[in-house]
């Protein structure tokens, strides 16, 4: 057994790569280690760090003796795996740069850790909250705990890496994993073979499904080959005009009152009130649709207040697409591809289909703004009260909360929004949940709501908890499409979560589509 503790970083080479020459860069020199594998490296050249000349110039004089060097090495080893062999790479220093691009399996380290860690002894999790603008964060806790201590939303958070306490002495005490697996243990060249065998064994295990089965619901796609394939399918579908489940939307939450309009492709098109994939292709004219074009052509947003350009984004970042490939559903969201497990896809789609359609009759949207529509819709619904933009200041930090857009005499709470991307939809659903929860649980909030209501809608006693079963929350989506209401997958996930919370309180929940007609704003 090794006498000293070494920190090891291990990756798994993709199964189709069986020759070391396919894995290591050709400029690396090789040293065979009998019975173990082949070590690759390249010479490192000590040199003064750039900051000496860049910051100090010649003021420090010559020959300081301050030198830096980027040593790098990889050990490639064949490891038996049920009658076949897999290749594992032990990475030293900056050795990752000696590997050809895309040779390592994604999420190898994550699976090893989840199969090897004590589930109640996690210390750190890196995650991405999915939405129109994915938000990456790292959460660490001061003492070991389970996944519940990290506030993970198992349906909307993508877990990228995990650090925790190992159940196996061979791996050392603390292990971490994402694409590669890292642990500190008494391992050296004399016993590394056993270490690699156990690492591969833990990767193949499915123990993690007992406590972490949700980890496979959504994963980000990082394989260049897979991304290239998905982008080719997207481009081919755009060229063919096959636009089913392809949308366009701003990749950020907008204040629609300040949206004058959008312009496709700089000066080549007129301003439009909203983004539409068919209109984009018309604006492109005879231009060949390519991936480079999608990533370089610009969508421009104009401010209603200043008439100036308020923002701009590449077309590619404004496209939301759902594409079936290799037996799985893939989602393009804010310029990033994700793969969704088939059973989770079916579950979310079934749940969305099960949400009842509201029977309330609403006019079509042919208005200059949501504010004007909400007022007209409230007038259309006899005895209804428009509460759009009538915000209630409440809670810590003086949060401003909109109770609903329209309150009807039948105690229907309408939350209305034009479709504008996953994050905008998530904001709508969150608004409905927050206001409803406060309405049920907080007498002070009910009093503030009551102060804004006309006499015919006022509560008789704001101190008494209302019966949620008397109320229906209606999420109303304005869309140009003539088809039945459909939402992007991540929006369906957000709605699923919102509905579950509202029904937990006892509210009825339904969905409603309003058709946008004409050249509306």
How many residues are given for the chain? 521
Mean pLDDT, residues 267-276 taken together: 75
- Give the range among 5-14, 32-41, 398-407, 440-449 with minimum mean pLDDT: 398-407
Please indicate, yes or no, whether residues 379 and 480 belong to a single structural domain of this protein. yes
Contact 153, 129 (CB under 8 A): yes
pLDDT score of 309 more than 90: no
Confirm whether 418 is domain-assigned.
Answer: yes
Burial of 91 (0-12, 13-18, 19+ CB in 10 A): buried
Reported as a single tens digit per residue, the pLDDT across 429-439 is 999 999 999 99
177 φ, ψ (degrees, to nearest 5): -155, 140
CB atoms within 10 A of CB 478: 22
Mean pLDDT, residues 90-102 taken together: 92
Reported as a single tens digit per residue, the pLDDT across 355-396 is 999 999 999 999 888 899 999 999 999 999 999 989 999 876
Reported as a single tens digit per residue, the pLDDT across 49-80 is 888 888 888 888 776 778 877 789 999 999 99
Q: Residue 519: what pLDDT?
A: 62
Domain extent at residue 492: 353-515
Please indicate, yes or no, whether residues 200 and 84 belong to a single structural domain of this protein. yes
pLDDT score of 298 more than 50: yes
Q: Residue 21: what pLDDT?
A: 92
| Structural domain ending residue among the three candidates 316, 340, 364 | 340
Please indicate, yes or no, whether residues 110 and 189 belong to a single structural domain of this protein. yes
Please indicate, yes or no, whether residues 84 and 196 belong to a single structural domain of this protein. yes
Q: Residue 229: what pLDDT?
A: 95
| Residue 215: pLDDT band with limits 50, 70, 90 | confident
| Residue 193: pLDDT band with limits 50, 70, 90 | very high
Q: In 3-state terms, what secondary structure has residue 282? A: helix
Confirm whether 144 is domain-assigned.
Answer: no
Please indicate, yes or no, whether residues 454 and 316 belong to a single structural domain of this protein. no
Q: Residue 400: what pLDDT?
A: 87
Q: Residue 269: what pLDDT?
A: 64
| Residue 151: pLDDT band with limits 50, 70, 90 | confident
- Give the range among 8-22, 140-154, 189-203 with minimum mean pLDDT: 140-154
Which residue is associated with the tokens 């209606």?
A: 474
Contact 266, 300 (CB under 8 A): yes
Please indicate, yes or no, whether residues 274 and 166 belong to a single structural domain of this protein. no
More confident site: 289 or 131: 289
Confirm whether 131 is domain-assigned.
Answer: no
| Structural domain ending residue among the three candidates 340, 370, 403 | 340
Structural domains in the chain (count) = 3
**How far, in Å, CA of 177 to CA of 171, rounded?**
12
Reported as a single tens digit per residue, the pLDDT across 333-345 is 888 899 998 889 9
Q: What is the pTM of this model?
A: 0.73
Q: Residue 381: what pLDDT?
A: 96
Mean pLDDT, residues 153-167 taken together: 86
**How far, in Å, CA of 416 to CA of 365, rounded?**
11
Please indicate, yes or no, whether residues 249 and 200 belong to a single structural domain of this protein. no
Please indicate, yes or no, whether residues 177 and 85 belong to a single structural domain of this protein. yes
Confirm whether 279 is domain-assigned.
Answer: yes
Q: Residue 267: what pLDDT?
A: 60
More confident site: 137 or 376: 376
| Structural domain ending residue among the three candidates 277, 305, 340 | 340
95 φ, ψ (degrees, to nearest 5): -60, -20
- Give the range among 2-16, 68-82, 243-257, 338-352 with minimum mean pLDDT: 243-257
Q: In 3-state terms, what secondary structure has residue 64? A: coil
More confident site: 124 or 396: 124
For residue 261, which of 277, 274, 276, 250 has the smallest C-alpha distance?
274
Share of the chain above pLDDT 70, in %: 95
Please indicate, yes or no, whether residues 431 and 336 belong to a single structural domain of this protein. no
Confirm whether 191 is domain-assigned.
Answer: yes
Q: Residue 434: what pLDDT?
A: 94
pLDDT score of 521 more than 50: no
Please indicate, yes or no, whether residues 387 and 505 belong to a single structural domain of this protein. yes
Q: What angle do CA 442, 445, 450 make, to 5 degrees?
A: 125
Please indicate, yes or no, whether residues 233 and 187 belong to a single structural domain of this protein. no
User: What is the chain's mean pLDDT, rounded?
Assistant: 89
| Strand ranges across the sheet with 319-325 | 218-220, 336-340, 328-333, 319-325, 246-248
Please indicate, yes or no, whether residues 327 and 436 belong to a single structural domain of this protein. no
154 φ, ψ (degrees, to nearest 5): -65, -15
Mean pLDDT, residues 193-202 taken together: 96
336-340/218-220 β-pairing: antiparallel
Confirm whether 456 is domain-assigned.
Answer: yes
Confirm whether 486 is domain-assigned.
Answer: yes
| Residue 289: pLDDT band with limits 50, 70, 90 | very high
């Amino acid at each position: 057994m090794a006498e000293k503790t070494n920190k090891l970083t291990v990756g798994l080479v993709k199964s189709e790569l069986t020759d070391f020459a396919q894995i290591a860069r050709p400029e690396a020199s090789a040293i065979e280690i009998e019975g173990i594998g082949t070590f690759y490296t390249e010479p490192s050249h000590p040199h003064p760090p750039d900051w000496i000349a860049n910051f100090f110039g010649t003021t420090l004089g010559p020959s300081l003796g301050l030198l830096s060097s980027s040593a790098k090495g990889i050990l490639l080893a064949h490891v038996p795996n049920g009658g076949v062999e897999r290749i594992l790479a032990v990475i030293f220093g900056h050795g990752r740069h000696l590997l050809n691009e895309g040779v390592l399996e994604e999420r190898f380290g994550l699976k090893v850790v989840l199969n090897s860690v004590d589930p109640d002894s996690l210390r750190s999790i890196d995650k991405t909250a999915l939405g129109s603008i994915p938000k990456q964060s790292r959460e660490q806790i001061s003492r070991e705990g389970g996944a519940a201590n990290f506030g993970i939303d198992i349906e909307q958070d993508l877990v990228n890496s995990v650090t925790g306490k190992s159940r196996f002495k061979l791996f050392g005490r603390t292990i971490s994993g994402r694409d590669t697996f890292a642990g500190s243990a008494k391992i050296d060249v004399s016993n590394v073979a056993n270490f690699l065998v156990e690492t591969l064994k833990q990767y193949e295990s499915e123990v993690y499904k007992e406590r972490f089965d949700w980890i496979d619901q959504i994963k980000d796609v990082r394989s260049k080959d897979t991304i290239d394939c998905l982008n080719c399918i997207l481009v081919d579908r755009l060229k063919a005009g096959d636009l089913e489940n392809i949308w366009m939307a701003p990749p950020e939450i907008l204040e629609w009152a300040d949206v004058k309009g959008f312009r496709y492709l700089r000066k080549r098109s007129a301003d439009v009130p909203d983004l539409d994939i068919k209109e984009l292709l018309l604006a492109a004219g005879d231009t060949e649709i390519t991936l480079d074009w999608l990533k370089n052509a610009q969508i421009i947003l104009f401010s209603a207040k200043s008439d100036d350009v308020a923002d701009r984004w590449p077309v590619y970042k404004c496209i939301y697409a759902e594409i079936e490939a290799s037996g799985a559903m893939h989602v393009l969201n804010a310029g990033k591809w994700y793969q969704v497990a088939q059973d989770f896809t079916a579950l979310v789609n079934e749940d969305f289909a099960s949400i009842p359609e509201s029977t309330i009759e609403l006019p079509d949207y042919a208005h200059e703004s949501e504010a004007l529509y909400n007022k007209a819709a409230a007038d259309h619904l006899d005895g209804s009260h428009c509460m759009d933009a009538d915000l209630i200041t409440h809670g810590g930090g003086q949060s401003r909360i909109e109770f609903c857009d329209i309150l009807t005499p039948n105690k229907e709470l309408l939350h209305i929004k034009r479709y504008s991307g996953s994050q905008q939809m998530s904001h709508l659903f969150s608004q409905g949940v927050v206001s409803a929860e406060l309405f049920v649980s907080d007498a002070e909030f009910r009093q503030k709501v009551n102060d804004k209501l006309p006499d015919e809608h006022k509560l008789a006693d704001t101190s008494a908890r209302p019966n949620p079963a008397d109320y229906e929350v209606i999420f109303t989506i304005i869309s140009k499409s003539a088809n039945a209401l459909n939402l992007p997958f991540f929006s369906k996930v957000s709605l699923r979560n919102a509905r579950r919370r509202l029904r937990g309180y006892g509210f009825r929940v339904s969905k409603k589509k309003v058709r946008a007609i004409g050249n509306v704003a």
